[in-house]
Structure formats: C-alpha cells, structure tokens
Amino acid sequence: MTMTCKLSIVTTLYRSRETIEEFIQRAMAAAEAVTDDIEVVIVNDGSPDDSAAIVRKSVDADPRISLVELSRNFGHHHAMLAGLDHARGDLVFLIDSDLEEPPELLPEIADVLRGKSVDCVYGLQQKRRGGYVERISGRLFYWLFRTLSDVGIPENVSTMRLMTRRYVDSLLRFRDKNPVFVPLSILTGYPQAPFEFVKSSTSETTYSIGRRIALMLLAITTFSARPLMLMLLFSLLMATLGILYGSYVVLGALTGPVQDGWSSLMAVVVFFFSLNAVFTGLIGLYVKQILEEVKDRPRSIVQEIYSHKKTSESSRVLSTD
C-alpha cells in the first residue's frame, strides 16, 4: 500500500560511475512501492570521474531527478547534509549510491517507520563488512568514541536511513562547520529505531586508515570534552605523586646521605616532557575546532543545480546562518 506523501531520495556521488545508473533505477522502483510522489536529489561531491555527466542524462530523461553540483570535494558528511538541505519530501531516504546498501529495503524500512511511529529508522549492519584492518579499525573507533564521548552511537550504523520532515529540519539546525553525521543524528533526538540488514562489499572503500583516524579525532574532539577532563585528572594525580616524591627526597636528604640519581632524574624529565607534548597536541586539536567554528565559513558551496527545468543557482552558499 502506497502512502500519500512526497518522498525524497538523497545520495552522493564520488567515483560512482559504475553504480549510479543502476542505483537510480533500483531506488526509483523501490520508492514507487511506497508513494507516487518521488524526487531524487543527487549531490556531486567533486567526483573526479564522469558520474555527474551520467546523472545529467538521467535528469534529462526524468523530471523527478535533480543534480546538486558542489564547487569542489567537501567530504561525504558535508555532501549528505547539502542533499538533505535540498530535499523537500515529507519523508527523506538517505542512502549511498554504491549499492552496498540495497535500496530495495525502502518499503520494509517505511513499514518500520509507520509501525513503530518513529521519526528516523537507521540501518544497522548485522556484521561489519570489509577486511581485517577495516573491521579492527571500526571496533577501535566505536570503543574509543563510547569511552571518550558524551554521545552514544550504535555500533556498525550505516548511512541508510528514512527520516520524517520534522526530523530532517531539526537535524539541519546543527551548524557544525566540520560535521560528523551519525553523532549529529543521535543528538537530534526524536524517537528512532534500528533496521538490521546485511551490507555487501562490492567496492573498495574511499576511507583510508588516515581518513579513519582523522574522522575519529574529529568526532571525539567535536562531541566531547572528556579527554580534557581526563588530562586534568591525570595532571592532578601526577602533581600529587610529584609532591609526595619531592617530600620523600627532601626528607631523605635531611636524614641521610644523598644518592646520585642522574639516570632516574633524566627518565622522569623525558617522561613529563613527552606527556606535555601529547597534552599540548590534544589541546591544539580543540583549539583547531574552535578556530574552524569562529571563522564561520560555509559548510559547502553549490556551484549549480541541474534539474529538468534547467534552473541553476550558481555559487549558492549552503548551511550558513
């Protein structure tokens, strides 16, 4: 049974030439089982291949499709939020275009949304995909984030999710210049429900180890001050131990002969200098986040909107107050 509401399908492009045509066909077919009023918003996140050219042909053939061209590569999370900003549906289905998340699951997800009366149904992988390194790095990320962050996120959560209009509008009120999508989606609140599925591994991930580490550091420093509190507690502990040890040394000097201790002294000095370097670097990450926010730069810039009406909004700035 179809619903009488407008449904927006939002996805992003980055090296997607092998899958984007099939994605559009399969996503459209899945959406038609949910409602007759459909739009597809595809965001080109500076893809270096001809993905955008392929989508333009689809736009010419189907008025329900539109292409949002960003002026450069801003990153996956920025592109997703830019797509949500352009979606006008009463329901918004966010999904990657690499077909690792089957668009055919949309009708089942819509049934969960209606049956549980929630505002967001998010995909949850039954088993994390990828090789040994990817699985280990994923577990490490979730463990560190749960330990150091104030925001609890489900493990192995995916991009795929179906959201109501009020949920999307509330999510877009967050103005983070370096957004991390999943924690923001949790902070948005509203009733949410998971949807377990099997995610396939059909393409090589664009998230290298370096990008994973950078994302982990960004997520932790953006959503928690707990590392700073741990630094403070550890510093207080070290100061207390230092005072106690200093008192012991003074007492020993007053009551007995003083032993040579150059090696142990240098070890202590090197340890505390190294500790200071680590703490300074961590504080620097927080200062960097503050700097990015106070600059108030746009989160992404739209170069062109290519739709069936051939309308464009050149150099339109998104996500600014």
Indicate whether 261 and 181 sit together in one domain: no
245, two tokens: 């040890």
Indicate whether 115 and 73 sit together in one domain: yes
The beta-strand segments (E) located in the chain are 3-13, 35-44, 65-70, 91-94, 120-125, 157-164, 192-197, 300-306, 316-318
Q: Nearest 10 degrees: CA dihedral of 19, 25, 30, 36?
A: 140
Indicate whether 8 and 137 sit together in one domain: yes
Model pLDDT for residues 268-298, shown as the tens digit of each residue: 666 676 667 667 766 766 676 676 666 666 7
Indicate whether 103 and 207 sit together in one domain: yes
pLDDT at 311: 45
Q: What is the count of structural domains for the chain?
A: 2
Model pLDDT for residues 218-276, shown as the tens digit of each residue: 666 666 667 766 776 777 676 666 666 666 666 666 676 655 665 566 556 666 766 67
CATH code, domain with 215: 3.90.550.10
Percent of the chain with pLDDT over 70: 61
Model pLDDT for residues 24-62, shown as the tens digit of each residue: 999 999 999 999 899 999 999 988 988 999 999 999 899
pLDDT at 304: 85
What pTM does this model have? Answer: 0.72
Indicate whether 199 and 76 sit together in one domain: yes
- DSSP state letters, 229-295: HHHHHHHHHHHHHHHHHHHHHHHHHHHSPPPP-HHHHHHHHHHHHHHHHHHHHHHHHHHHHHHHHHH
Mean pLDDT, all residues of the chain: 78
Among 60-64, 128-132, 157-161, 162-166, the minimum mean pLDDT is found in 128-132
Q: What residues form DSSP beta bridges with 123? A: 195
Indicate whether 156 and 256 sit together in one domain: no
Indicate whether 231 and 202 sit together in one domain: no
Indicate whether 240 and 280 sit together in one domain: yes
Indicate whether 233 and 207 sit together in one domain: no
Check if the beta carbon of residue 42 is closer than 8 Å to that of residue 68: yes
Model pLDDT for residues 100-118, shown as the tens digit of each residue: 899 999 999 999 999 999 9
Structural domain for 186, as ranges = 3-220+299-318
pLDDT at 167: 96
Cβ neighbours, 10 Å, residue 293: 14
Distance CA 122, CA 120 (A): 6
Q: Nearest 10 degrees: CA dihedral of 187, 188, 192, 194?
A: -60
Cβ neighbours, 10 Å, residue 42: 30
What backbone phi and psi angles, to 5 degrees, belong to 305? -115, 115
Indicate whether 311 and 246 sit together in one domain: no
Indicate whether 307 and 286 sit together in one domain: no
Indicate whether 150 and 258 sit together in one domain: no
Report whether pLDDT(180) > 90: no
pLDDT at 116: 92
